[in-house]
Amino acid sequence: MSVSMLSRSSIKSFFSEVGDITLFAKRFFREHFVPPYEFKELIRQCYNIGNRSLLLVMVTGFILGLVFTLQSRPTLEQFGAESWIPSMISISIIREIGPVIIALISAGRIGSGIGAELGSMRVTEQIDAMEVSGTNPFKYLVVTRIVASTLMLPLLIIVGDSISLVGSAMVENLKSDVSYILYFNKVFNAIEFGDIIPAAIKSFFFGFAIGLVGCYKGYNCAKGTVGVGEASNAAVVYTSMLIFVIDFIAVFVTDIIFDI
């Protein structure tokens, strides 16, 4: 009986959380189009989110390209299909692996940072002070961060994918003496707009999800220092789950569109 009650409570809590995040997103869209616009703060947040995550994304992308190529090569060698490595690696990274892995890495870096920052401001009553002074903290703190993460994540994914292909080309150059020019000629011959466009579109949704959940958890943080840690941790967990859901929906819709 207690297990059943606990299950019902968990389900109720889950749907309540989903409803609260939906209302939070609705408020974002309502506030986003109403002046005044915080362009200066938006640029600062773009710098914080983009520039400070760049090195992490580049290292992740480079290692991803190295490992993926090293793991794929032995299997393809058994079938004499080494010439397919540039095409397979490039399509796999650009369409699926690159955006998802980099989005998950960014969720840990960006989502937790936003959740901890806004949570600290809520705990120390800085947000309350802004409301009392007549400033709109939601527009200044939340809208700018969500827009910045939505704009910056596609750029980070482009950089990460590019570095991944460089890492893959390096492995091919060392293992099979394939020149970089030949490698990237095969890459560009294999890639089509149907590979790039869906990945680019869903990367905007990944960025929006990271900013939205991070801001929601931080802005509605519980009182106390424990609440800041919980908000930061929950932002990463929720965002990671949401990224997989968005990716599934994007792949499903893309498959239907291109089949038609």
pLDDT tens for 141-199 read: 888 999 999 999 999 999 999 999 999 999 888 888 788 898 889 888 888 887 788 88
Q: What is the pTM of this model?
A: 0.88
pLDDT digits (tens, 9 = 90+) for 105-135: 988 888 888 888 888 888 888 888 887 877 7
Contact 154, 204 (CB under 8 A): yes
Residue 158 pLDDT: 92
Please give the biggest Cα pair distance in the chain. Answer: 70
Mean pLDDT over each residue of the chain, to the nearest integer: 85
**pLDDT at position 259:** 61
pLDDT at 2 over 80: no
User: For 77-92, how does the pLDDT look when each residue is reduced to its tens digit (9 = 90+)?
Assistant: 787 777 788 888 888 8
The number of CA neighbours under 13 Å toward the Cβ of 121 is: 21
pLDDT for 165 equals 92
pLDDT at 1: 45
The confidence score (pLDDT) of residue 196 equals: 85
The phi, psi pair for 107, rounded to 5°, reads: -60, -40
Task: Name the residue among 141, 155, 140 with its Cα closest to residue 207.
Answer: 155
Q: Residue 10: what pLDDT? A: 67
